[in-house]
Amino acid sequence: MQVILLRDVEKVGLRGEIVDVARGYARNYLLPRKLAETATPGALEELRRRDETRARQEARTHEEARDIAARLEQTVLRFDVKSGPTGSLFGSVTATDVADRLWGDHKIRVDRRKVDLGDSIKRVGRYEVPVEVFTDVEATLRLEVVPEGGDLAQMEALEAVALAEEEAAAAAAAAQAAAAEPEGAVEAEAWAEEVEATAEAGAEPEPAGDEEPAPPEQ
């Protein structure tokens, strides 16, 4: 079943896109929650007109694109969002949110599909987002996703907590991997170290393990 998304839907698409979904998913989830509408001929025509209007507002030449890119490089978008005590958002900041804010606050029109956000933002913090303004013209847009009612200092404290958690998880994973390292690998590493040491001393290394030394050639 074809529907037109009215909002960004994780792993489905961006607002304004026409997507094919299971009929049950559309009827039981997307349509009742006003996340999408059925792709009727009338709705498709209205979408086409809106897309044409937006396209006329976007850069149409390299010169216009370079001017817009220069403005984007100087722009910082701030999003005040609801978040939990560890900085996780109650929701997310999406490419459509970024494009809408650029138009609403700065009258800069960019195609939301050209905002390279990757996955939607789900934590407070500072972000640098590549934006393709035109063919061969890109800019980096800076975002500040701040706890609602908070400030940058609080945001930075939450960022530090998140970084510490990531580092602790990485250290635990490394320790677990080292503990699970096969005994043979440890012996091989010890043998390699002995080879290097004896080579520097000019002596033959003792063979690893219980192997007997090979008899001299006749």
**CA 112/CA 132 separation, integer angstroms:** 10
pLDDT at 195: 63
Question: Would you state the torsion angle of the CA atoms of residues 100, 102, 107, 108, taken in this order, to the nearest 10 degrees?
Answer: -110
- Tell me the two tokens of residue 62: 């390299």
pLDDT at 206: 53
DSSP state, residue 26: I
Specify the pTM: 0.63
The structural domains of the chain, with segments of one domain joined by +, span: 1-57, 59-199
Each residue of 102-121: b (16+ CB within 10 Å) or e?
beeeeebbbbbeebebeebb
pLDDT at 179: 78
DSSP letter for each residue of 56-107: HHS--SHHHHHHHHHHHHT-EEEEEE-B-TTSEEEEEE-HHHHHHHHHHHH-
pLDDT at 192: 66
Mean pLDDT of successive 10-residue segments in the chain (218 residues)?
Answer: 90 89 94 94 91 82 89 93 86 91 91 87 91 90 88 69 80 82 59 66 54 52
The CATH architecture to which 59-199 belongs is Roll (3.10)
pLDDT at 143: 94
User: Strand ranges (DSSP E) for the chain?
Assistant: 2-5, 18-20, 36-38, 76-81, 88-93, 121-123, 125-134, 137-147
pLDDT at 218: 47
Inter-residue contact 13 to 19 (CB < 8 Å): yes
pLDDT at 41: 94
Which CATH topology does 1-57 take? Answer: Ribosomal Protein L9; domain 1 (3.40.5)
